[in-house]
Amino acid sequence: MEAGDIIRELDLKPATCGFMRQTWDNNHGAALYFLITSDRPGAVHSLDADQMYHFYAGAPLEVTFLTAPGQLERHLLGAFGSGPTHQPQLLIPAGTIHGSRTTGAFTLACTTSFSGQPPRAAQPTADQQKQMAKAGFH
């Protein structure tokens, strides 16, 4: 299956993280599909709630955190057993500045959050954006 087929079948729309569609939302949190391509990587952002990324299909997803001391921390979201450092789930703590990009043609994943309210996105500061841009995330 190709990225375009998945985008059509799941009715994904261009958004912050490639192509997205919310599948659940109430006063406890939210869940949504997202599909990242090399042309549409995940924008650098943070949320005001913890997020759990879940890998579904495609190539592993590189997710890079900007830590409080200004260090870059890289993670690979991927199928269980597909690589020594691939994780099928990845926790992104609330307030963590992060960006994501596929390591192949596309990555299909899901994010869930449980904050007691639907999560709200926040933009990084100019300095945080510069640090992430040095690593190739925009």
Q: CATH no. for residue 9?
A: 2.60.120.10
Walk across the sheet containing 89-92 and list its strands.
13-14, 19-26, 29-37, 106-114, 51-58, 89-92
Q: What confidence tens digit (pLDDT) does each residue in 38-96 have? A: 999 888 888 888 899 999 999 999 999 998 888 899 999 999 888 788 999 999 998 89
pTM of the predicted model over 0.85? no
Report whether 111 contacts 47 (CB < 8 A). no
pLDDT for 23 beyond 70: yes
Whole-number pLDDT of residue 122: 60
**Number of folded domains that form the chain:** 1
Coil vs helix vs strand at 101? strand
Whole-number pLDDT of residue 100: 94
Domain that holds residue 11: 3-134
d(CA 12, CA 79): 22
pLDDT for 102 beyond 60: yes
Q: Tokens 């640090």, residue? A: 131
Helix (H) or strand (E) holding 129: helix 126-134
Q: What's the mean per-residue pLDDT of the chain?
A: 88
